[in-house]
Amino acid sequence: MRQLFFIILAVIFLQELTAQKINWSPELSIRGKAKMKRLLKLDSASFSAVLAHYKAFGDPDAYIQDFSLPEMNFGGEQMIQTNNQNLESLVELGNQVYALFINTDTEKNQIIANARLARNSAAKLTSIGSIDYKKSNHKGTFDFVESQDYSKLLVIESPPYEKYNMEKFRLTMYNDSLKQLWTTEIKLPYLDQEFKIIGKQVDENGNVFLLTTYNNVLSKQNKNRGAMIKNYTVLVYNNRKNKLKEFDIQLKDKWVNGLNMSFKKDGNLMVGGFYNDTKEGASSGTICMTIDKDSIVIKNKSLNPFSDGFTNQFVSGRQQSKKMDLKDFHFDYFVNGHDGSMYMTAEQYFVRTSSYFDQRTGVTNYTYYYHYNDIIVVKIDSDGKELWTKKIAKKQVTSNDNGDYSGYVVVPNKNGISVIYNDNLKNFEENEA
């Protein structure tokens, strides 16, 4: 079985701007083809990750792999037995790892979500949700979110997509032993086809924060039908008051390119991302705002344009004399540092397509190239002020594989953050320089 080298890039960012430093950990070699799917509960000394080990046939096997920080040494490893259930995800609740399964009941026309202790294949299944469907190709979706303190699990049930219906979904909260605490249905005055939840957070009190987008399609009578206006909104649901609040995020004369959100150590919500002066999909700088989680009022907001010196790191030659925007960067992670600061990261991602027409067969063959390139890291202090921005050089290009082994994972450690991704050993010395 061939080896896939899993190179760990440990990025250690110190407090002072002049002391920023990138340190490389020793390479780790994982048997076969593997990808880190998500992180479980972590602290400054260790973390656990869900690894998918791919096989020649069938679904990949799921493992829980423990790592120590900052050395990135291997700890314990355990394969998760699925017992012919369709494993969707693994989550951590109350210091226990639960396996979440989604299966289809064709007789009842339902998809059903169940959970059990991950490390005990004989543990009983607990039902945590179901969605009715009419068409087998439109079954709806589940989302699962652990609370800030890992004491609760939110299950979001989104019914099958219906083009001209208004948006609705169900929220159900469970405690760390999977006992249902409450459930409610949310109905919104937005078309189902244009509404999307892109960020999900639950605080320690069980309040739900959803970062959403809504693209308003113009009426059929308008000749410009199809032109879209993108809006970002934070929805906050307080179950104790049974109240839903909405907060629109807009920038005057700016175009919000991508946002994410996370809780600060004081419990307030920080929303951050990228903006541009136009609607071209590039990034001119970063935006960061702190929102009081109770009053849903902005406490502070800052816009920080990228400096010419920073953007020039991504281009060469004559282009360095021009004002540059960064294209194709997608916001990925928004994580807390152990010193009260926060880190935002984005990765350059795009797909290129080439085609070849075979005159003998009359068939056009397509090749899809998946590019996962440089990473931007932004450090923000506890008040939302940008401290510095840094580039991590990376180049991952694969073809016709959906980029399954590309991308990266971010883990906070006691000195900063660790950025983890697959790489080839031939690139090691080049990056080190």
Q: Which helix (H) or strand (E) holds 432?
A: helix 428-432
Distance in angstroms (rounded) separating the CA atoms of residues 425 and 114: 41
Q: Nearest to residue 94, comparing CAs of 28, 172, 176? A: 176
Q: Nearest to residue 36, comparing CAs of 85, 72, 2, 82? A: 72
DSSP letters of 300-339? EEEEEEPPHHHHGGG--GGGGGS--PEESEEEEEEEE-TT
* Contact criterion met (CB below 8 Å) for 146 and 152: yes
Q: Which positions ≥6 away from 217 have C-beta within 8 Å?
A: 191, 193, 194, 225, 226, 228
Instruction: Give the distance from CA 353 to its chain's centroid.
Output: 25
47-54 contacts: CB < 8 A, separation 24 or more? 47/411, 48/92, 48/97, 49/409, 50/89, 50/90, 54/404
Q: What angle do CA 379, 206, 91 make, to 5 degrees?
A: 70
Distance in angstroms (rounded) separating the CA atoms of residues 283 and 304: 11
List, for residues 340-397, the tens digit of each pLDDT value.
888 999 899 999 999 998 888 989 999 999 999 999 999 988 877 888 888 888 888 9
User: Residue 259 above 60 pLDDT?
Assistant: yes
Structure tokens given for 76:
């314990």
More confident residue, 89 or 419: 89
C-alpha pair distances (Å), 418 with each of 71, 98, 202 = 10, 25, 24
In the numeric block, the tokens 């540059």 are attached to 324
In the numeric block, the tokens 């869900």 are attached to 50
| pLDDT more than 70, % of the chain | 84
Which of the four pLDDT bands, split at 50, 70 and 90, describes residue 26? low
- Reading phi first (left if > 0) and then psi (alpha if -120 to 50, else beta), residue 242 is in left
- Kindly report the average pLDDT of the chain as a whole number: 82
What pLDDT, on a 0 to 100 scale, did the predictor assign at position 281?
Answer: 65
Bridge partners, residue 393, by sequence: none
List, for residues 198-237, the tens digit of each pLDDT value.
899 999 999 999 999 887 544 333 333 333 445 788 999 9
DSSP letters of 340-379? S-EEEEEEEEEEEEEEEEETTTTEEEEEEEEEEEEEEEEE
More confident residue, 38 or 110: 110
More confident residue, 318 or 308: 308
Q: Considering only 89-93, 140-144, 224-228, which range has the smallest mean pLDDT?
A: 224-228
Which of the four pLDDT bands, split at 50, 70 and 90, describes residue 6? very low
Which of the four pLDDT bands, split at 50, 70 and 90, describes residue 303? confident
User: Residue 102 above 90 pLDDT?
Assistant: yes
What pLDDT, on a 0 to 100 scale, did the predictor assign at position 111?
Answer: 96
List, for residues 32-90, the tens digit of each pLDDT value.
777 778 888 777 678 888 888 888 788 888 999 888 877 778 888 889 999 889 999 99
What pLDDT, on a 0 to 100 scale, did the predictor assign at position 425?
Answer: 61
Q: How many CB atoms are closer than 10 A to CB 190?
A: 19
List, for residues 241-255, the tens digit of each pLDDT value.
999 998 888 777 778
